[in-house]
Structure 1
Amino acid sequence: MTEKDIKPIPKYIMDEIFKRDIKIHPWQESMVRYYAYLTIWKKELVKVTVAVTTQKKQWCCKQVAVHGIHSKKCFVKDMEYLYFGYGYRVGWFAEELQSYQKKFEDGKWYIADTKYYDPYATLINRGVIAKIPEYKYSAYQHYSGRDIISYLRIYERYPQTEYLLKNGLCAYAENITLLKKFSKDKTFCKWFIRHRNELALPYGNTYNITTIREAYKTGWPLKEVNHFLFAKKQFEREARFKPIRTLFPDWKLQTYFDYSNKQNITDNLYLDYLNACNYLGVDMSKKQNLLPADFHKWHDIRIQQYSEAKAIEKAKNKPELMKKFSEVAEKYLPLQHNKRSAFICVIPRSLADLIHEGEMLHHCVGRMNYDERFTREESLIFFVRTKEHPEKPLVTLEYSLQTHKVLQCHANRNAQPDEDILHYVNKVWLPYANKTLKQIAA
């Protein structure tokens, strides 16, 4: 195809474009619309793109791009491609619809890269394809994609794509990776067609090739595979969950996902359990340890054992700190409170209590030198519990012995406690503690 082969728009084509444009755009706005028609030049199928606009109450159209099915380049006239997401601009100076001539319009045809000058355009005369014998059985009638020329180029290389169109899978018809697998694996091709109802997603959406391959290999439903791969990708973004991924590599991770959903636990909670088990030397190759039937029960047991082991280890390293901690706790025992409220406030009696509280509520009270501040009587730690469940960690607070104020008060994972708990801490316990502290000092 050469520039000389380009002929004006036939009148019957122009009439059809006008009818189609009136139907699609009844308000005839000034924005540019694109239509395309097919023709045959020297036995080559060619697509001509036509730009349409309505300005000054005048409907106007002009050829702006020509694409040959076997041509690596295209011809462009009076149209500019904008690289920054603005699409295309068309000049209308020759049609007297604008007052000045834009730099890209001079009425001449120029050779350009096909991929940059191929705007989406409504096709007018699809039936021309039937005149070319090699495309007669391409199932072009079922094609609903963006560019029929692109599809036919693919059809020439991978005739299997017609099966996709005939089975209502147009969205996959131009996936080269998929078509290559079709040509090499007939069993996969049969599996794909057999699952066409699953594959046909609404609004032209598709499953990606990774999901399709995994569903083919595992025999799992596509929806479940897609959900798993998405969850796995999200899970892998968190570096701190690497110990869990080590225990459950690849598809075994689905076992973990199913287990965590059944037990209603978070990844952070399981990670705490896993870290405690690793510290205690628990054999995680055994299923009863890896996936305990009652996770919450065994989580609490392992965390308690871990807290005690850490306290013992710390006590061995700091025996004087252990002793001093108990003495300070005994001294300020009167600051505990359990009167006229649904809540109680208790003081930790040992380092093990402090560590256990931090592990259960996932904050740093069992670390970060809170024990040393406690023994130096700079600040005290208190546990807020409910009278109904006095053994269950709820909220932890730090109380300054210098300012007689609550320095911080946190629930699970450093969350702010509920309003009723804050009211108890600030309006009930704090005045009581300050009053009692004066009595101790006296």
Structure 2
Amino acid sequence: YLDYLEMREKAGYDLHNGIYAYPRNLGTAHQTMVLETQKTEMDKRLAETEENYPEIRKRFRKLKKKYLYESGGYIIRPAASASEIVMEGRTLHHCVGGDTYLRKHASGRSTILFMRFSDEPNIPYITVEISDDGEIMQWYGAYDKKPNKDKIDQWLKAYLINLKCSHSEQKEIRITTMVG
């Protein structure tokens, strides 16, 4: 009961109101306040990350051109915002949403990519960290597991080959344009 009252007070509720002070079902009211408190804290975290890492949004368009790829029922793309990285970590229950990864992605020391099923592009599946020289540093699914490890490893190898070929073609086009 005291935990419930403390959450209500912290959220700015008027505890002189009998409905808030003495709920009919304490268990339900407490659970509602827990969820409300968690949502408030998450909203605050997301706003802070957007404020602290605006570079992530600014870099997205350039990164999307470089890293977006779809093949074999999967799609991979860079993170569009700091809050998206935080939600990825929260949803998959791994550490990608922490400040270390946000700083690395924002500064370009590495890039956070989201791998999804092509038919469910908004549902988190695999998170990939790739170095600035195009090597996979790590990848994980939910709870730091590696689902379909052999298949995903094989797909990521093919992705890297495609990425390097695309990058080489772009260099070749630039060189030809500069010479011609």
Same fold (TM over 0.5): yes
Give per-residue Cα distances to partners, 1:307-351, cap 9 Å, x unaligned. 5431202334x2xx31x111222211121112x311111211100
Q: By percentage of residues, which structure has more helix?
A: 2
Secondary structure of the equivalent of 2:86? helix
Check 1:311–1:390 CA distance in 2 against 1; reply closer, same or farther (3 A cut).
same
Match of 2:31 in 1: 290
- 2:160 paired with 1:433: no
1:288-323 CA-to-partner distances (Å, cap 9, x unmatched) read 7728xxxxxxx9xx988765431202334x2xx31x
| Aligned partner of residue 332 in structure 1, secondary structure | helix
Please report the TM-score for the alignment, with normalisation by the length of structure 2.
0.68
What is the alpha-carbon distance in structure 2 between the residues aligned to residue 399 and residue 405 of structure 1? Answer: 5
CA shift, 1:374, in A, is: 1.3
Equivalent residue pairs, number: 149
Unaligned runs of 5+ in 2: 12-19, 21-25, 175-180
2:83 match: 352
Q: In the alignment, does 2:52 pair up with 1:311?
A: no
Q: Post-superposition, which runs of at least 4 consecutive aligned residues in structure 1 deviate over 4 A?
A: 302-308
Output the CA distance in 2 between the equivalents of 1:333 and 1:414: 25
Question: Per-residue CA shift, 1:33-70, capped at 9, x if unaligned?
Answer: xxxxxxxxxxxxxxxxxxxxxxxxxxxxxxxxxxxxxx
Give 1:423's aligned amino acid. Q
Q: Which residue of 1 aligns with 2:14?
A: none
Q: Secondary structure at the match of 1:369?
A: helix
d(CA) in 2 for partners of 1:417, 1:411 = 6
After superposition, the Cα gap between the structure-2 partners of 1:361 and 1:410, relative to the gap in structure 1 and judged at 3 Å, is: same
Match of 1:414 among 133, 138, 144: 144
Give, in whole Å, the separation in 2 of the partners of 1:377 and 1:310: 22
**Which residue matches 2:130?**
399
Where 1:409 maps in the other structure, the secondary structure is strand
Using CA pairs under 8 Å that are at least 6 residues apart, name the structure with larger relative contact order, 1 or 2: 2
CA RMSD in angstroms, aligned pairs only: 3.3
Q: d(CA) in 2 for partners of 1:327 and 1:440?
A: 23
Aligned in 2, Cα 1:378/1:388: closer, same or farther, shift over 3 Å?
same
Contact 2:64 2:78 in 1 (8 A): yes
Contact in 2 for aligned 1:385/1:391 (Cα 8 Å): yes
1:433 aligned counterpart, secondary structure? helix
- Tell me, in whole angstroms, the C-alpha distance in 1 between the residues paired with 2:118 and 2:43: 25
Would the aligned equivalents of 1:308 and 1:352 in 2 still touch at CA under 8 Å?
no
Percent of aligned pairs sharing the same letter: 18
Letter of the 2:166 partner, please give it: T
The one-letter amino acid paired with 1:390 is P
